[in-house]
């Protein structure tokens, strides 16, 4: 992970910040969904229910998918945050079932919050909810209700990993990052967990994400920081071009680090925002690298743009190109596919000023100058592209703006995974 001056990476994920406890448990949601009451051959007793609880009422902010089809948990979370003026104390989340496109979806999402609130002795509106998994299948509430007492009993300051595992679907690894920094001479911590492997092409958020911090920051500034950072991290991520129905990113701030509450965009706000960027950027890279069937992380950085939006549009155009993604899987330095994707990006720039370089830890090679190919060693390019993390550098002019987008290669396994996803 990239180092940033003044910030130290620490363990703990969503429990790195003071005042947060978490847990994860297997409740058997998928088993209850099967007609015969058995898990499918691909099923296993992986945690499928997560709980994160703060010792104090937190300021909270969230962003959600812009898909017209939204999971019931999103509707309930918005309702609860509105009712509490941006406050929350707990998050209950499940995998295996998205609770989306179901007639009783809101009822089930509210029930998850009420059952959790009953166990914790807090109000239902102080509980937020997330779900991920298969769309259009009724969410069985019985296994969740049965598992909640044990889930609450397991709550621990060391329970972040168990919670991160519980929200995984086709993920092969959990995604957790946390950093420590100082504001007003007080140690502050910010950490998060994310899930996501397929159906990733965000607009305002991506997959399921929960970020916690003990920094004192107002709900208004928390929302601004989240919305700003989402634009240059999660919104610059694409695995397969499909935008999920349940995408949610939640940030909860307990405020117990002891710093003066951040209520304006001053230097303290910039320190906090940078911490949020570091965590969300690293989670974005993890999500991209663990794309369904992926063998390589692809990172495209566009520079020389007249403005940030142009740089983002061009960078995303490259990482979203199926032909480019296939070429990277085959370690084929077919730079024409990169230039093609740059060219159809809906942005204005001079194509005759475009330069392209491919790079990895094995080296870097210029493949295009001023919009045209240049001689290069195919053998050396192959060595560069055989690594599992590939960088594409694209310069589109002499502007001052730049942006990075993240994606992954497109492999045979992606089709295999999604050909029997409901199994």
Which structural domain range is residue 352 located in? Answer: 297-419
Tens of pLDDT, residue by residue over 117-150, are 999 999 999 999 999 999 999 999 999 999 999 9
Domain count, the chain: 2
Compute the average pLDDT of residues 206-218: 93
Average pLDDT over residues 61-84: 95
Catalytic residue chosen out of the listed positions 206, 248, 284, 404: 206
Task: Tell whether 106 and 71 lie within a shared domain.
Answer: yes
pLDDT at 41 over 50: no
Whether residue 44 is predicted with pLDDT greater than 70 in this model: the reply is no
Residue 92 sits in a domain whose CATH number is 3.60.70.12
The reply to whether 389 falls in a domain is yes
> Is residue 423 over pLDDT 60?
no
Q: Same domain for 234 and 382?
A: no
Rg (CA), the chain: 22
- Counting residues of the chain whose pLDDT is more than 90, the rounded percentage is 84
pLDDT band at 1 (very low <50, low <70, confident <90, very high): confident
pLDDT bracket for residue 42 (50, 70, 90)? very low
Per residue in 146-170, pLDDT tens? 999 999 999 999 999 999 999 998 8
For the cut 90, the answer to whether the pLDDT of residue 418 exceeds it is no
- Specify whether 342 is located in the same domain as 370: yes
In a domain, 312, yes or no: yes
Query: Has 116 been annotated as catalytic?
Result: no
- Answer whether residue 311 shows pLDDT above 90: yes
- Please tell me which residue, 293 or 183, carries the higher pLDDT value: 183
In a domain, 3, yes or no: no
* 145 in the same domain as 27: yes
Which one of 254, 289, 324 terminates a domain? 289
Q: What CATH number does the domain containing 334 carry?
A: 3.10.20.340
pTM of the model: 0.93
Verify that 81 and 122 share a domain, yes or no: yes
pLDDT of residue 170: 85
Residue 349 within any structural domain of the chain: yes
Please indicate, yes or no, if residue 2 is contained in any of the structural domains.
no
Place of tokens 């499940």: 94
The answer as to whether 1 is a domain residue is: no
Same domain assignment for residues 242 and 170: yes
pLDDT, mean of residues 391-413: 95
218: which residues sit within 8 A by CB, 6+ positions away?
59, 261, 262, 263
pLDDT at 241: 78
Give counts: helices (H), strands (E), the chain: 12, 15
What pLDDT, on a 0 to 100 scale, did the predictor assign at position 45?
81
CA distances from 368 to 350, 352, 404 (A): 14, 10, 19
∠ Cα 274 280 284 (to 5°): 140
Give the whole-angstrom CA distance, residue 152 versus residue 162: 13
Query: Sorting pLDDT into bands at 50, 70 and 90, what band is 75?
Result: very high
What is d(CA 5, CA 130) in angstroms, rounded to the nearest whole number? 34
276 and 143 within one domain: yes
Whether residue 341 sits in one domain with residue 198: no
375 and 269 share one domain:
no
Domain boundary among the residues 289, 310, 332 is at 289
Question: Among the three residues 267, 289, 311, which one is the final residue of a domain in this structure?
Answer: 289
């Amino acid at each position: 992970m990239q180092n940033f001056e003044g910030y130290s990476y620490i363990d703990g994920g969503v429990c790195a910040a003071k005042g947060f406890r978490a847990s994860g448990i297997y409740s058997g949601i998928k088993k209850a969904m099967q007609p015969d009451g058995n898990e499918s051959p691909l099923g296993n007793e992986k945690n499928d229910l997560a709980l994160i609880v703060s010792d104090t009422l937190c300021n909270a902010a969230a962003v959600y998918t812009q898909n017209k089809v939204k999971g019931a948990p999103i509707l309930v979370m918005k309702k609860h945050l509105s009712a509490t003026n941006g406050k929350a104390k707990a998050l209950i989340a499940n995998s295996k079932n998205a609770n989306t496109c179901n007639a009783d979806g809101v009822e089930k999402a509210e029930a998850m919050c009420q059952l959790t609130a009953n166990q914790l002795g807090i109000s239902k509106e102080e509980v937020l909810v997330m779900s991920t998994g298969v769309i259009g299948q009724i969410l069985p509430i019985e296994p969740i209700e049965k598992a909640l007492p044990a889930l609450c009993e397991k709550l621990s300051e060391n329970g972040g990993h168990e919670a991160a595992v519980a929200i995984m679907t086709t993920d092969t690894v959990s995604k957790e990052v946390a950093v420590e920094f100082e504001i007003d001479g007080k140690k502050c911590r910010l950490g998060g967990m994310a899930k996501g492997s397929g159906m990733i092409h965000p607009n305002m958020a991506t997959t399921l994400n929960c970020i916690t911090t003990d920094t004192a920051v107002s709900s208004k500034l928390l929302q601004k920081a989240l919305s700003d950072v989402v634009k240059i991290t999660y919104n610059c991520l694409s695995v397969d071009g499909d935008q999920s129905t349940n995408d949610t990113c939640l940030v909860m701030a307990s405020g117990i680090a002891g710093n003066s509450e951040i209520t304006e965009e001053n230097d303290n706000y910039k320190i906090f925002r940078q911490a949020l960027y570091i965590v969300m950027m690293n989670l974005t890279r993890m999500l991209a690298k663990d794309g369904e069937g992926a063998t390589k992380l692809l990172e495209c950085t566009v520079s020389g743009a007249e403005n940030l939006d142009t740089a983002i549009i061009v960078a995303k155009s490259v990482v979203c190109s199926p032909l480019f993604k296939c070429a990277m899987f085959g370690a084929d330095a077919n730079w024409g596919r990169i230039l093609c994707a740059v060219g159809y990006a809906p942005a204005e720039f001079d194509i005759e000023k475009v330069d392209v370089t491919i790079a990895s830890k094995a080296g870097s090679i210029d493949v295009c100058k001023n919009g045209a190919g240049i001689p290069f060693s195919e053998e050396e390019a192959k060595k560069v592209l055989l690594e599992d993390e590939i960088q594409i550098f694209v310069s589109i002019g002499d502007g001052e703006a730049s942006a990075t987008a993240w994606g992954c290669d497109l492999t045979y396994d992606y089709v295999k995974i999604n050909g029997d996803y409901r199994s």
